[in-house]
Protein backbone atom coordinates (compact mmCIF):
# COMPACT_ATOMS: atom_id res chain seq x y z
CA UNK A 1 0.00 0.00 0.00
CA UNK A 2 1.05 3.57 -0.62
CA UNK A 3 0.64 6.39 1.87
CA UNK A 4 -0.01 10.03 1.01
CA UNK A 5 3.68 10.87 1.24
CA UNK A 6 4.34 8.46 -1.66
CA UNK A 7 2.03 10.43 -3.96
CA UNK A 8 3.75 12.16 -6.84
CA UNK A 9 3.25 12.81 -10.50
CA UNK A 10 3.40 9.56 -12.45
CA UNK A 11 2.45 7.22 -9.58
CA UNK A 12 -0.09 4.53 -10.55
CA UNK A 13 -2.93 3.58 -8.24
CA UNK A 14 -5.85 1.19 -8.40
CA UNK A 15 -9.15 2.87 -7.69
CA UNK A 16 -12.49 1.08 -8.16
CA UNK A 17 -10.74 -1.71 -10.09
CA UNK A 18 -9.27 0.62 -12.70
CA UNK A 19 -5.65 1.71 -13.00
CA UNK A 20 -5.07 5.44 -12.53
CA UNK A 21 -1.98 7.56 -13.01
CA UNK A 22 -1.37 10.84 -11.21
CA UNK A 23 -1.01 13.46 -13.94
CA UNK A 24 -0.78 16.52 -11.74
CA UNK A 25 0.36 16.69 -8.17
CA UNK A 26 0.35 19.58 -5.79
CA UNK A 27 1.43 19.59 -2.16
CA UNK A 28 -0.66 22.15 -0.29
CA UNK A 29 -0.34 23.07 3.36
CA UNK A 30 -1.31 26.15 5.31
CA UNK A 31 1.60 26.89 7.67
CA UNK A 32 -0.33 25.80 10.75
CA UNK A 33 -2.78 23.53 8.98
CA UNK A 34 -2.86 19.99 7.72
CA UNK A 35 -0.96 18.69 4.71
CA UNK A 36 -3.16 18.18 1.64
CA UNK A 37 -2.20 16.28 -1.48
CA UNK A 38 -4.12 17.65 -4.43
CA UNK A 39 -4.04 15.21 -7.34
CA UNK A 40 -5.36 15.07 -10.84
CA UNK A 41 -5.84 11.41 -11.73
CA UNK A 42 -6.25 9.93 -15.18
CA UNK A 43 -7.96 6.63 -15.77
CA UNK A 44 -5.40 4.63 -17.76
CA UNK A 45 -8.14 2.74 -19.61
CA UNK A 46 -10.65 5.46 -20.47
CA UNK A 47 -8.45 8.55 -20.26
CA UNK A 48 -11.05 10.32 -18.13
CA UNK A 49 -9.65 12.61 -15.48
CA UNK A 50 -10.75 13.77 -12.07
CA UNK A 51 -9.34 15.81 -9.25
CA UNK A 52 -9.19 14.75 -5.66
CA UNK A 53 -7.56 16.02 -2.49
CA UNK A 54 -6.04 13.43 -0.20
CA UNK A 55 -4.81 13.72 3.39
CA UNK A 56 -1.85 12.25 5.22
CA UNK A 57 -4.00 9.47 6.74
CA UNK A 58 -5.14 8.14 3.33
CA UNK A 59 -3.73 4.89 1.94
CA UNK A 60 -3.74 3.65 -1.65
CA UNK A 61 -3.60 0.36 -3.50
CA UNK A 62 -0.88 0.15 -6.15
CA UNK A 63 -2.18 -0.67 -9.64
CA UNK A 64 -1.08 -4.15 -10.71
CA UNK A 65 0.65 -3.30 -13.96
CA UNK A 66 3.18 -5.36 -15.85
CA UNK A 67 5.52 -4.33 -18.58
CA UNK A 68 6.64 -6.44 -21.52
CA UNK A 69 9.37 -5.61 -24.01
CA UNK A 70 8.03 -5.35 -27.55
CA UNK A 71 9.30 -3.93 -30.78
CA UNK A 72 7.68 -0.92 -32.37
CA UNK A 73 6.91 -1.86 -36.00
CA UNK A 74 4.87 0.84 -37.71
CA UNK A 75 1.99 3.22 -37.48
CA UNK A 76 -1.17 2.38 -39.40
CA UNK A 77 -3.88 5.03 -39.40
CA UNK A 78 -4.19 6.03 -35.80
CA UNK A 79 -2.92 2.65 -34.53
CA UNK A 80 0.62 1.92 -33.42
CA UNK A 81 1.68 -1.68 -34.01
CA UNK A 82 4.07 -3.48 -31.64
CA UNK A 83 5.35 -7.08 -31.77
CA UNK A 84 6.26 -9.43 -28.97
CA UNK A 85 9.63 -10.80 -30.13
CA UNK A 86 9.16 -14.07 -28.22
CA UNK A 87 5.63 -15.04 -29.32
CA UNK A 88 5.50 -12.88 -32.48
CA UNK A 89 2.11 -11.75 -31.31
CA UNK A 90 1.21 -8.26 -32.50
CA UNK A 91 -0.62 -5.74 -30.38
CA UNK A 92 -2.06 -2.35 -31.27
CA UNK A 93 -2.20 0.83 -29.28
CA UNK A 94 -4.26 3.92 -30.10
CA UNK A 95 -2.80 7.41 -30.34
CA UNK A 96 -4.43 8.16 -27.02
CA UNK A 97 -2.76 5.15 -25.43
CA UNK A 98 0.66 6.11 -26.80
CA UNK A 99 0.23 9.73 -25.74
CA UNK A 100 3.33 11.89 -25.33
CA UNK A 101 5.54 8.81 -25.81
CA UNK A 102 5.22 9.48 -29.54
CA UNK A 103 7.79 12.25 -29.00
CA UNK A 104 10.39 9.67 -28.04
CA UNK A 105 9.38 6.70 -30.23
CA UNK A 106 11.87 5.61 -32.92
CA UNK A 107 11.04 2.97 -35.58
CA UNK A 108 12.07 -0.57 -34.59
CA UNK A 109 13.05 0.39 -31.06
CA UNK A 110 12.11 -1.83 -28.19
CA UNK A 111 9.53 -0.32 -25.91
CA UNK A 112 7.93 -1.54 -22.74
CA UNK A 113 4.27 -2.22 -23.39
CA UNK A 114 2.14 -1.71 -20.37
CA UNK A 115 -0.21 -4.53 -19.48
CA UNK A 116 -3.04 -4.22 -17.02
CA UNK A 117 -4.41 -7.68 -16.27
CA UNK A 118 -2.70 -8.92 -19.46
CA UNK A 119 -4.36 -6.30 -21.64
CA UNK A 120 -2.08 -3.86 -23.48
CA UNK A 121 -3.14 -0.41 -22.34
CA UNK A 122 -0.21 1.82 -23.00
CA UNK A 123 3.46 2.28 -23.53
CA UNK A 124 5.91 2.69 -20.73
CA UNK A 125 9.03 4.57 -21.59
CA UNK A 126 12.11 4.59 -19.44
CA UNK A 127 12.27 7.78 -17.36
CA UNK A 128 15.19 8.92 -19.45
CA UNK A 129 15.90 8.54 -23.15
CA UNK A 130 18.91 9.61 -25.16
CA UNK A 131 18.25 11.14 -28.58
CA UNK A 132 20.43 12.81 -31.18
CA UNK A 133 19.95 16.49 -31.97
CA UNK A 134 19.19 16.71 -35.70
CA UNK A 135 18.59 20.43 -36.09
CA UNK A 136 20.19 23.20 -34.04
CA UNK A 137 21.42 26.75 -34.48
CA UNK A 138 25.19 26.98 -34.01
CA UNK A 139 26.58 27.66 -30.57
CA UNK A 140 27.74 31.23 -29.88
CA UNK A 141 31.03 30.90 -28.03
CA UNK A 142 31.37 32.41 -24.60
CA UNK A 143 27.72 31.75 -23.87
CA UNK A 144 28.25 28.66 -21.74
CA UNK A 145 27.01 29.86 -18.36
CA UNK A 146 24.51 32.52 -19.36
CA UNK A 147 21.52 30.29 -18.51
CA UNK A 148 20.00 30.98 -21.93
CA UNK A 149 18.18 28.26 -23.89
CA UNK A 150 17.36 27.62 -27.54
CA UNK A 151 14.97 25.23 -29.31
CA UNK A 152 16.43 22.22 -31.14
CA UNK A 153 14.87 19.28 -32.96
CA UNK A 154 15.74 15.67 -32.06
CA UNK A 155 15.57 12.62 -34.33
CA UNK A 156 11.91 11.86 -33.54
CA UNK A 157 10.97 15.36 -34.72
CA UNK A 158 10.32 16.52 -31.18
CA UNK A 159 11.31 20.14 -30.42
CA UNK A 160 12.92 20.79 -27.06
CA UNK A 161 14.60 23.68 -25.21
CA UNK A 162 18.26 23.08 -24.42
CA UNK A 163 21.21 25.19 -23.18
CA UNK A 164 22.89 27.15 -25.97
CA UNK A 165 26.08 25.03 -25.78
CA UNK A 166 24.31 22.04 -27.34
CA UNK A 167 25.06 21.58 -31.04
CA UNK A 168 23.75 19.49 -33.92
CA UNK A 169 24.77 15.81 -33.86
CA UNK A 170 25.14 15.71 -30.10
CA UNK A 171 23.21 13.26 -27.99
CA UNK A 172 21.10 14.58 -25.14
CA UNK A 173 19.28 12.92 -22.26
CA UNK A 174 15.59 13.79 -21.90
CA UNK A 175 13.23 13.19 -19.00
CA UNK A 176 10.26 11.49 -20.67
CA UNK A 177 7.95 12.37 -17.76
CA UNK A 178 8.38 16.11 -18.20
CA UNK A 179 9.62 16.16 -21.79
CA UNK A 180 12.46 18.39 -20.64
CA UNK A 181 16.17 18.44 -21.36
CA UNK A 182 18.33 16.97 -18.61
CA UNK A 183 21.92 16.77 -19.74
CA UNK A 184 24.32 16.35 -22.61
CA UNK A 185 25.59 12.81 -23.20
CA UNK A 186 29.30 12.58 -23.92
CA UNK A 187 30.75 10.22 -26.51
Partner 1 sequence: MSTLRQEDSFRLARKSQALRLRAEFTQCLRRRFLEQGFLEVETPLRIPSPAPEEHIEALASDGWFLQTSPELCMKRILAAGYPRIFQFCKCFRAGERGGRHLPEFSMLEWYALHTDYQMLMRQCEALLQSALADTGHSEKIIWRNQIIRLPLPWERITVKDAFSRYAPVSLQNALAGGRFDEVLTEHVEPNLGCDHPVFLCDYPASMAALAKLKEGDPAVAERFELYMGGMEIANGFSELTDAQEQRRRFEEALEARAAKDLARYAMPEPFLAALEGLPPCAGIALGMDRIIMILADAPNIDDVVAFPPETL
Taking CB under 8 A as the binding criterion, the range among 51-59, 99-107, 115-123, 150-158 that sits at the site for partner 1 is 51-59
Question: Can you tell me which of 16, 30, 108, 138 binds partner 1, judged by CB under 8 A?
Answer: 30
* Residue 25 β-bridge partners: 39
Shortest distance, position 183 Cβ to partner 1, whole Å: 6
Q: Does 53 bind partner 1 (CB under 8 A)?
A: yes
Shortest distance, position 162 Cβ to partner 1, whole Å: 10
- How many CB atoms within 10 Å of residue 111? 23
With CB under 8 A as the rule, give the number of residues binding partner 1.
Answer: 25
In the complex with partner 1, the residue whose CB is nearer, 36 or 121, is: 36
Q: Does 50 bind partner 1 (CB under 8 A)?
A: no
Q: Does 140 bind partner 1 (CB under 8 A)?
A: no
Question: Can you tell me which of 17, 31, 86, 142 binds partner 1, judged by CB under 8 A?
Answer: 31
Cα gap 187→178, rounded to integer Å: 25
In the complex with partner 1, the residue whose CB is nearer, 54 or 158, is: 54
Q: Does 163 bind partner 1 (CB under 8 A)?
A: yes
Closest CA relative to residue 171, chosen from 137, 129, 141, 140: 129
Q: Does 146 bind partner 1 (CB under 8 A)?
A: yes
165-171: long-range contacts (C-beta < 8 A, 24 or more apart)?
Answer: 165/139, 166/133, 166/136, 166/139, 167/133, 167/136, 167/138, 167/139, 168/133, 168/134, 168/135, 168/136, 169/132, 169/133, 170/132, 170/133, 171/130, 171/131, 171/132, 171/133
- Footprint of partner 1 (CB under 8 A): 5, 26-36, 38, 53, 56-57, 144-147, 163, 165, 183-184, 186
Amino acid sequence: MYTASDLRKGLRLKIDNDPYVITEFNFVKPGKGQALYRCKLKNMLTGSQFERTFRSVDVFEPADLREKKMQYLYKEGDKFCFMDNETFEQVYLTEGQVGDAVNFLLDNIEAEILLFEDRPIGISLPNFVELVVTEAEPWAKGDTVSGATKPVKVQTGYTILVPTFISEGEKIRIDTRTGEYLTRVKG
